[in-house]
Amino acid sequence: MLDGIDFDVPAGTVFSLLGPNGAGKTTTVNVLTTLMKADGGTVRVAGHDTATEAKAVRSEIGVTGQFAAVDELLTGLENLQLMADLHRLGADEGRQVVTGLLERFDLVESARKPASTYSGGMRRKLDLAMTLVGNPRIIFLDEPTTGLDPRSRRTMWTIIRELVADGVTIFLTTQYLEEADQLADRVAVLDQGRLVAQGTPDELKRRLPGTHVRLRFTTAAELDAAARILTGSTRDDEALALRVPSDGGTKSLRALLDMLDEYAISAEEFSVHTPDLDDVFLALTGHTTEAVAK
């Protein structure tokens, strides 16, 4: 599943593993969090070997998996209390921590309702709150916003930023370039179990094809003519399309259209593209994310 991946995460930073479904993100998290053993190599978390010092690793980490791991039959309050009891916090300290987390995650009103009645966003919040009961210094977040509506996603981002401000180290997996861009200090791109790129979000974006305009024509002759006048463009003969670098602003678009007009060339189709995860993948691996998705 995973093939020789290698990275370091400095304490107090956010490291994001970016990749499509089936790339091996969850497997990586499972290995790092002692749920699975790697066939080879060494993994050290907080200075402890995950294979030989699993208990020491577990005492340092908090994990919020891809699917909210809350007890649906218990209320939000009981879920948090369960974690406090398992961490052997005393009655007073436990109550304090639980109340504090309910307030911080805006769950006070629904604290006495069973978790099965919670919305997706509330479940994720409760899940993360449960992870925080033990006050871990390293937190693993496996696709914390997949399936959330845009508003809940923003809330989750704010919470993650607050954790970072408290000095927590975060290992985050995501399918969304934007999310890695927003939160991470360093990003690694995972594809079919291999790391294909690593760097700061800015470094990665520089390696991407920038925003561009895509023009599609009806005849090869028109494509030829357009390719001659638009320097710096790349052509796709099969689709009779031309890719023209552009900043996507109205001024440069007008200039482009004027130029086509001037040479009496008309394009069948016109669209503006900004880079997304598909472009990262195309640029880094030569295939799109769909080819990998299960």
Partner 1 sequence: MSSPSTVMLRRNFKHIARNPTSVFNAVLMPVVIMLMFVYMLGDAFDVGVDYVDYATPGLMLLAVCYGLGSTATSVNSDMTKGIINRFKVMDISRGAVLTGHVVASLLTNLVAIGAIIGLAFLLGFSPSASFLDWLGVVGLVVLLGFAAGWLTVALGLAAKSPETAGLSTVPLVMLPFFSSAIAPAEKMGPGVRQFAEYQPFTPIIETLRGLLNGTPSAGTAIAALAWCVGIGVVGYLWARSTFKKRA
Q: Which residues bind partner 1 (CB under 8 A)?
A: 30, 33-36, 55, 58-59, 61, 63, 65-74, 78, 82, 85-88, 90, 114, 130, 134
Nearest distance in Å: CB 28, partner 1:
12
Nearest distance in Å: CB 171, partner 1:
13
Closest CB to partner 1 among residues 140, 217: 140
Nearest distance in Å: CB 156, partner 1:
18
3-state secondary structure of 280: helix
Closest CB to partner 1 among residues 127, 179: 127
Measured between alpha carbons, how far is 46 from 140 in angstroms, rounded to an integer?
12
Measured between alpha carbons, how far is 46 from 59 in angstroms, rounded to an integer?
10
Beta carbons within 8 Å of 27's beta carbon, 6+ residues apart: 1, 2, 36, 193
Task: Calculate the alpha carbon distances from 222 to 163, 205, 248, 270 in Å.
Answer: 55, 32, 23, 14
Look up residue 22 and give its two tokens: 């089936």
Closest CB to partner 1 among residues 32, 226: 32
Q: Are strands 234-236 and 169-174 parallel, antiparallel or unpaired?
A: unpaired
Closest CB to partner 1 among residues 147, 286: 147
Nearest distance in Å: CB 44, partner 1:
16
Contact 64, 131 (CB under 8 A): yes
Measured between alpha carbons, how far is 148 from 156 in angstroms, rounded to an integer?
9
Measured between alpha carbons, how far is 39 from 65 in angstroms, rounded to an integer?
22
Closest CB to partner 1 among residues 55, 251: 55
174: enclosing H helix or E strand: strand 169-174
Nearest distance in Å: CB 41, partner 1:
18
Instruction: Find the length of the chain.
Output: 294
User: What is the CA 62 to chain-centroid distance, rounded?
Assistant: 18
User: What is the CA 281 to chain-centroid distance, rounded?
Assistant: 14
Closest CB to partner 1 among residues 107, 226: 107
Q: Using alpha carbons only, how large is the chain's radius of gyration in Å?
A: 24
Nearest distance in Å: CB 18, partner 1:
22
Nearest distance in Å: CB 69, partner 1:
4
Contact 76, 118 (CB under 8 A): yes
Query: Residue 128, by phi and psi: left (phi above 0), alpha (psi -120 to 50) or beta?
Result: alpha
Closest CB to partner 1 among residues 88, 151: 88
Nearest distance in Å: CB 30, partner 1:
5
Closest CB to partner 1 among residues 9, 180: 9
